[in-house]
Structure 1
Amino acid sequence: MSKKVSGSFTVFCRRFVDNSFGSVIGYNYWACWSIITAAEFTAIPLVMQYWTQVVPDWAWSLMFLLVVFVLNIFGARSYGEAEYWFSLIKVLTILIFIIVGCCISGGLIGDQVYGFKYWQDGNAFPHGVLGVINSLVLASLSMQGTEIIGITAGECSNPSKQVPRAIRNVFWRILVFYLGSVFVMGMIIPWNDEHNMHSGSKTVSVSPFALVFAKGGLESAGHVVNAIILITILSCANSGLYVSSRMLLALSQEGVAWNRLSYVTKRGVPIGALICTALVSVITFVTSFIPGQALYLVLTSLAGVAGFVTWFGIAMAHYRFRRALKAQNMELSILPMTAPLHPFGDLFTMIASVVCALITGYSYFYPADPVGLVGNYAGLVLCVVGFIVTKLYTKSKMIPLKDIDLVTGASIYKDADSQYENGDATAPTGPWYSRVAKRMVAVFT
Structure 2
Amino acid sequence: MPSTLPIADPAPADGALPASAADGSGERDLGVYLHVPFCRVRCGYCDFNTYTASEIRGVRQSDYASQAVAELDFARGVLADAGVSDRPVSTVFIGGGTPTLLPPGDLIRMLDAVRDGWGLAPDAEVTTEANPDSVTEAGLAELAAGGFTRVSFGMQSAVPHVLRTLERTHDPARIPLVVEWAREAGLQVSLDLIYGTPGESLDDWRRSLELALAQHPDHLSAYALIVEPGTKLARQISRGEVAAPDEELQADQYELADELLAASGYSWYEVSNWASDAAHRSRHNLAYWTGQDWWGVGPGAHSHVGGVRWWNVKHPAAYADRIAAGVSPAAGRETLDAETRRVEDVLLRSRIVDGLPTEVLGDEGRKAVAELIADGLIEGRNAIAGRIVLTRRGRLLADAVVRRLC
TM-score bucket of the superposed structures, by smaller chain: under 0.3
TM-score by length of 1: 0.23
Q: Which has the higher strand share?
A: 2
- Structure exhibiting the larger radius of gyration computed from Cα positions: 1
Higher relative contact order structure (alpha carbons within 8 Å, sequence separation ≥ 6): 1
